[in-house]
Structure 1
């Protein structure tokens, strides 16, 4: 109970949007608490992540990649999975063909984009392929 109250208090204190995030930032648990980013905020953060695009409904960001082969894609997914577990923020991962990867990020609990999605995008971008 106290953990949830502290979390709510922390999220309430985070009233101001910040573009001061990096791959060293940590994802904050939201559990359905908080609000999604406005379109203008998404555009500001999108400038910080190379190759990511926003969906037309402004509810997710995604990136398409082509890796050398099937096993490279699987190893890359494992690296992403390790980061996602550590952060408690999980992308949707898609593999088509044998080497075409798509990564979708969205804050599922809020059905939209939050700073967590951009933190994860930065962390994913910092991984070796």
Structure 2
């Protein structure tokens, strides 16, 4: 499935999280992401040449998150950005998490090209 071509749908309280099999299948469409916390979160670390490039990625990440209405947790280090996604209202992972992950995966190459 091409998650990057999809758009996040608003979640309502009570939205069920994906089960483990669905999480594993969705992870198979992404590269570099791993399931964490009993498959209730997905995580990826992005590496850059320096802090400025990492911050360009964070700014692009913020634009994606706002456009999708789905906001990851992230931590910025000198040349890395750690990203964790999950759907709070569902208490686990939903399709929205994989949509945002797929869209973020398109950003590092774009950020690096702006050097």
CA distance in 2, matches of 1:45, 1:110: 17
Greater relative contact order: 1 or 2 (C-alpha under 8 angstroms, separation 6 or more)? 2
CA distance in 1, matches of 2:95, 2:34: 15
Q: Which structure 1 residue ranges, 5 or more long, are not aligned?
A: 1-19
**Correspondence 1:87-102 to 2 at 5 A:** 87-96=68-77, 98-102=78-82
CA RMSD of aligned residues (A): 1.2
1:21: how far off? 4.4
Q: Which structure 2 residue ranges, 5 or more long, are not aligned?
A: none
1:35 is matched with which residue: 9, 16, 26?
16
1:33: how far off? 3.7
Question: Normalised by the size of structure 1, how large is the TM-score?
Answer: 0.80
Equivalent pairs counted in the alignment come to: 109
CA distance in 1, matches of 2:58, 2:49: 14
1:51: how far off? 0.3
CA distance in 2, matches of 1:45, 1:101: 22
Match of 1:122 in 2: 102
Deviations 1:33-88 (A, max 9, x none): 42100000000000111000000421100101211100111110000100100100
Deviating 4+ runs (over 4 angstroms): none
Question: Normalised by the size of structure 2, how large is the TM-score?
Answer: 0.89
**Correspondence 1:34-113 to 2 at 5 A:** 34-96=15-77, 98-113=78-93
